Amino acid sequence: MLRPKEMTKIVAVGGKKDRKAVVDALYDLKALHIKEHTPAELDIGSPLEQANDISEALIKSEAILSLWDEDVKGTKTHADTIKKTLRTINKIHDRVHNESEELRTRQKRAATLKEELHTHKILSKLKLTPEFFALDSVAISVGTIKDKGKLKEYPANTHTDQHHTYAAIAVPKEDKDKALQDLATKGFTEHDVRVRADEKTVEQEFKAAVNAKREAEKQLAQTKKEYLDYVQSATQFLRQEAIKAQVPLTFAESENIFYVTGYVPTEDVLVVTQELEKAAKKRLHVQTLKEEDEKEIPIKMEHPGLVKDFQFFQNLYALPRYKELDPTFFTFMTFPFLFGLMLGDIGYGIITLILFLFMKKWMPKFSGFYNIIILASVWTILFGIFFGKFFGSDYLIVWELPRVFHRLYDVMEVLYFSLFIGILHINFGLAIGFFNEYKSHGLKMAILEKASWWVLQIAVAIIALPFIAQTLTAPETTGSLWLFEPIVWLAQVLEPAQPFLGYGLLGLAVVMIILGEGVIGAVEIPALVSNILSYARLFAIGMAKASLAVVVNQFANGFMLSMGWWGLIPTTLLLVFGHTINILLGLLGGFLHSLRLHYVEFYSRFYKGGGKRYQPFGTK
Amino acid sequence: MADINTALIAIAAASAIGLGAFASAYAEKAIGVATIGAMAEKEELFGKGLVLTVIPETLVIFAMVVAILIIGMA
């Protein structure tokens, strides 16, 4: 749980005859993360023998599916071989292609006839009969015009419907072109209105064409219903086969032998070896290798149930490296803690808990993410008890809630508490970093790089001790902290060694940091102060939320006092609306800032990241 | 409560945090834009980009400390 899963690098060597069987076995095992072979002494392999057939069939079946506007859903079984599938898909593809072509032709014919019918109707509306077009000295020009008024100089019939204004204009045949040009400037567009036959014939033809079109559509739908299942299962099968056919490009191959190199979780090596040997009928050899470059090893994080949902944060940021500690468990411990500290209200916690429990039932797709918020809600309730707040008020109906600090009045205490949490969190990160460095670079480097920061903090604490003790023993100090006694006692004990102890340790710490991390480390010293102060946002956001809740409550109080029992409805609305906004802001802000504190302040103490994800052959 | 000294202290504390926040936002704006642009090309830069974006946060944190100290004077 604290480290990524242990991986073993294996290489499987076999004869080219068994390639297909081995590839099938690998695909079903879903355990080998293949390391691609770079062509050196041995060249990369060539695709499996039936790759061409598979590609041809896959292209056609994808085309059929897109024509039908469908996709493959769920898992389907497919029993045919590749050759038979190719033949069947070809047959279906030709049929579907022909039928859709036929449909297109009939659609066009119906559209053309519709146009003709429309022309007939216009001619009748404009009161034109065939004799008008057979005159000697006058030509009739029919078309559309935008503005009827521009036709004043010409004798014309007009008809307006919802789309256009149609006009039939009489122009003298000799000056036809000049007249048409003049009309064009006025916005007149001429249409061709020569008709083939009379209206009745055209109408009959149109009805027949529409029927034919419907027939073609029915035929297409029929074909689809008959073959949809087969095409879907064939497409899924072909997609998988295409992936399998291409994988030998990652193998190393000579004339008769192929090598496949990859990573398998150590606990699965035996099973994988047995399955591969069985598939190749014992004509295969599997050997484990030692991996020198740790950056190549793929990362598979493994965690028990609830902790697994916090992998979401790692996927968002960066996967851990192979040998370093996996921060998911630590995030699981501290993220809800900081979230709860910022929200800190019993009522809000209960509301978010119930809300996200419901969301898990309605939209189970993101239930991992909901689990994170549910855990954070539990901590919110706990901190609500700590701060004694229920929907912003200090009273649960009428009984005053007990509390350790008051969010709004014990300002300085809450601030010191947040900074204290910050110091704990950052030192926790340093401890993890110390462990990581110890494992990878030995004790001396670990002490110089990480323990030096602890010496620095102790040195600063010792230097500041007299001043703190002075403030604490001054007569006007108030507050509920019980740490006063030990601090004052410690200041008295260390009195004779001041100031040498403090400044001496400080110098030692700076030297250690420079030795451990270089001059950049020394420049980072103010960054430590800024990182600790960054945790003051826990105090700030908490106070903002509490203040907003108190304001909403006071408004509601005002309503009730001034309006008596009539104020019940607006008060309820105000309370619901105000607290909902507060909860939404709190969820967003708490999540974001808690996450930022982890990513920036916590991780920068120990996390390097940059691992490659474990993607075994056979999974998407 | 209502005298000119308290008012000036309040104005001082408010301007301290306000101007500090403005400075920090101005600085982080440019870095944030560059980070998102880099992330659009290479998703792995999210971590580095985030850390670099929040480096100017120290401006507003020190401003907040100053504001709290000023309020402590009242």
DSSP secondary structure letter of residue A495: G
pLDDT of A468 over the 90 cut = no
Task: Indicate the average pLDDT of chain A.
Answer: 85
Whole-number pLDDT of residue B22:
94
SS3 assignment for A400-467: ECCCCCCCCCCHHHHHHHHHHHHHHHHHHHHHHHHHHHHHHHCHHHHHHHHHHHHHHHHHHHHHHHHH
CA neighbor of A428 nearest in space, from A339, A518, A535: A535
> CB distance from B74 to chain A under 8 Å?
no
> CB distance from A507 to chain B under 8 Å?
no
Q: Where are the beta strands (DSSP E) in A110-152?
A: 138-145
Whole-number pLDDT of residue A483:
62
pLDDT of A477 over the 70 cut = no
Report B:26-45 residues touching A (Cβ under 8 A). Answer: 44
Q: How far apart are CA A37 and CA A257, in angstroms?
A: 14
Q: Would you place residue A537 in the very low, low, confident or very high pLDDT band (cuts 50, 70, 90)?
A: confident
Whole-number pLDDT of residue A484:
67
> CB distance from A416 to chain B under 8 Å?
no
Backbone dihedral angles phi then psi of residue A71, each to the nearest 5 degrees: -140, 170
Q: Is the peptide bond before A499 cis (omega within 30 degrees of 0)?
A: yes
Shortest Cα distance, chain B CAs vs residue A600, angstroms: 6
Whole-number pLDDT of residue A482:
63
A contact test, residue of B58, B66, B68 with most A CBs within 10 A: B58
Q: How far apart are CA A118 and CA A123, in angstroms?
A: 9
Task: Find the Cα–Cα–Cα–Cα dihedral A589, A594, A599, A602, rounded to 10°.
Answer: 150
pLDDT of A313 over the 80 cut = yes
> CB distance from A592 to chain B under 8 Å?
no
Name which of A8-12, A420-424, B50-54 the model is least confident about: B50-54
Shortest Cα distance, chain A CAs vs residue B58, angstroms: 6
pLDDT in tens, B4-18: 989 999 999 999 999
Size of interface A-B (CB pairs under 8 A): 36
Q: How far apart are CA A296 and CA A82, in angstroms?
A: 36
Whole-number pLDDT of residue A479:
54
Six-digit token string for A72:
């493959």
**CB pair distance less than 8 Å for A318 and B44:** yes
Q: How far apart are CA A99 and CA A432, in angstroms?
A: 68
Six-digit token string for A192:
């061709």
Average pLDDT, integer, range A481-485:
64
Average pLDDT, integer, range A563-567:
79
pLDDT in tens, A342-353: 998 899 999 999
Six-digit token string for A163:
């789309």
Shortest Cα distance, chain B CAs vs residue A264, angstroms: 24
pLDDT of A14 over the 80 cut = yes
By CA distance, what is A319's nearest residue in B?
A: B44
Of B47, B62, B65, the CB nearest to A599: B47
pLDDT in tens, A54-111: 888 889 888 888 888 888 777 777 777 888 888 888 888 888 888 889 889 989 988 8
B contact test, residue of A312, A600, A608 with most B CBs within 10 A: A600
Q: Would you place residue A354 in the very low, low, confident or very high pLDDT band (cuts 50, 70, 90)?
A: very high
Q: Would you place residue B24 in the very low, low, confident or very high pLDDT band (cuts 50, 70, 90)?
A: very high
β-pair partners for A299: A613
Q: How far apart are CA A427 and CA A422, in angstroms?
A: 8
- Residue A285, SS3 per DSSP: strand
Secondary structure element (H or E) that encloses residue A500, with its range: helix A500-517
Q: Would you place residue A336 in the very low, low, confident or very high pLDDT band (cuts 50, 70, 90)?
A: very high
Q: Where are the beta strands (DSSP E) in B1-74?
A: none
Shortest Cα distance, chain A CAs vs residue B63, angstroms: 11
- Ordered DSSP codes for A196-226: SS-HHHHHHHHHHHHHHHHHHHHHHHHHHHH
> Whole-model pTM?
0.76
**CB pair distance less than 8 Å for B61 and A596:** no
* Chain A residues lying within 8 Å of B61, measured CB to CB: 530, 533-534, 536
> CB distance from A527 to chain B under 8 Å?
yes
Give the burial class of A30: count Cβ atoms within 10 A of its Cβ; 0-12 exposed, 13-18 middle, 19 or more buried: exposed
Q: How far apart are CA A436 and CA A444, in angstroms?
A: 13
- Residue A157, SS3 per DSSP: strand
A contact test, residue of B31, B35, B59, B61 with most A CBs within 10 A: B61
Backbone dihedral angles phi then psi of residue A432, each to the nearest 5 degrees: -65, -40
- Ordered DSSP codes for A299-364: E-----HHHHTTHHHHHHH-PPPSSSPPTHHHHHHHHHHHHHHHH--HHHHHHHHHHHHHHHHH-G
